[in-house]
Amino acid sequence: MTDHSELTATDPVTAQELTEIIAELEEYRERLVNDTLLMAQRAKMLRSQALAQLEPDLAKIDTTLQALREQQAVLSASN
């Protein structure tokens, strides 16, 4: 059976859902940075080196966050 509670690209998203998604993605980004820096410290790796390796992932997350915020702005402007 498929779980119909998951959103698909064609499902309309509410402002509340967007707010929750943005908050979760921001928390994920912060946790990713913190965990990576902690592991780098344990491995005696330079902070700048660890962040440089993480940068492509952070860029994707930031791009997604920006798109979600824009979608949220459009949605709240239309209401």
Residue with tokens 């940075």: 33
pLDDT band at 4 (very low <50, low <70, confident <90, very high): very low
Task: List, for residues 49-73, the tens digit of each pLDDT value.
Answer: 999 999 999 999 999 999 999 999 9
Torsion of CA 44, 52, 60, 39, to 10 degrees: 0
* pLDDT, position 34: 97
DSSP collapsed to 3 states, the chain: CCCCCCCCCCCCCCHHHHHHHHHHHHHHHHHHHHHHHHHHHHCCCCHHHHHHHHHHHHHHHHHHHHHHHHHHHHHHHHC
Average pLDDT over residues 8-23: 84
pLDDT of residue 78: 83
Task: State the pTM of this model.
Answer: 0.79
